[in-house]
Structure 1
Amino acid sequence: MPTPSLQAKRAYYAKVRQSNYTASLRLAGFDTTPADGERKLPSRESLRSAYRCEV
């Protein structure tokens, strides 16, 4: 049996990580849909600008 490539391993672990995250949200009582896993997270800079205090 051939060993899987590095790209295949990364894709597998990304899929498992997303599945585990969705399962943990369900266990915590949040309503989730499969579409929740497909959304991209906001960039770090956009989060910083949203929470930055303007004095």
Structure 2
Amino acid sequence: MEKLSFQAKKAYFAKHRKSNFAASLRLEGFTTSPNDDHKLPTREAALMAVRQIKA
């Protein structure tokens, strides 16, 4: 059996984590599509948004 690199392992788990999350959303009744790939905001952008809400 060939050894997998650390990057290959990370990619494998990221792919399966994403598909498991999509499956759990479908089970809860949400509609999903394979193209639902939204990027999360950066930490700085999230902090700025929270600061604007508090002000």
Give me the TM-score of the superposition, normalised by structure 1: 0.78
1:13 aligns with 2:13: yes
Q: Looking at both structures, which has the greater relative contact order when contacts are Cα pairs under 8 Å and sequence separation is at least 6?
A: 1
The code of the aligned residue for 1:31 comes to T
Show structure 1 runs of 5+ residues with no match. Answer: none
The code of the aligned residue for 2:12 comes to Y
Give me the TM-score of the superposition, normalised by structure 2: 0.78
Show structure 2 runs of 5+ residues with no match. Answer: none
Identity between Structure 1 and Structure 2 (%): 55
1:44 aligns with 2:37: no
Note the aligned Cα RMSD (angstroms).
1.3
Separation in 2, partners of 1:21, 1:48: 26
